[in-house]
């Protein structure tokens, strides 16, 4: 039921919900195949990349940002993509940040900590 505080998704869809930033780490079993060690993880990353949301792949997870409904849908699709690719099980760790005024962005949060590589 929409508005039920026990339903996290309905709470996150509140009026003026702004931008949602999330990071997902998928931990499928197995992670891939003998030939493609990370293929089940790669399937999740491919789903997130195709969504057209602002995203950044990191060594331990992928961050995405955008409209809350689009981000929640992308997170679920990434989780399910590992199973569709051949994983027998998966644990997904998800962190979520939401702002009603649209700030800060992923870039705002990370730019001060980025250093050029030599």
- CATH label of the domain that carries residue 41: 3.30.70.930
Cα separation, 37 vs 20, in Å, equals 31
Question: Is position 12 within any domain?
Answer: no
Instruction: Output the pLDDT for position 22.
Output: 96
- Count of structural domains within the chain: 1
114-to-108, 110, 117, 118 alpha-carbon distances in Å: 11, 7, 9, 13
Question: Is position 102 within any domain?
Answer: yes
10-residue mean pLDDT series, the chain (118 residues)? 47 60 97 96 97 93 94 97 98 91 78 76
Instruction: Output the pLDDT for position 71.
Output: 96
Question: Is position 52 within any domain?
Answer: yes
Structural domain span for residue 102: 26-106
């Amino acid at each position: 039921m929409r508005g039920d505080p026990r339903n996290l998704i309905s709470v996150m869809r509140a009026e003026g919900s702004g931008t949602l930033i999330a990071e997902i780490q998928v931990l499928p079993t197995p992670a891939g195949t003998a030939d493609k060690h990370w293929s089940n993880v790669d399937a999740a990353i491919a789903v997130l990349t195709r969504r057209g949301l602002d995203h950044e792949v990191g060594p331990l997870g992928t961050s995405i940002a955008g409209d809350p409904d689009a981000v929640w849908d992308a997170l679920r699709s990434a989780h399910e993509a590992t199973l569709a690719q051949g994983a027998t099980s998966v644990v997904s760790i998800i962190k979520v940040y939401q702002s009603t005024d649209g700030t800060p962005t992923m870039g705002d949060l990370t730019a001060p900590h980025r250093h050029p590589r030599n």
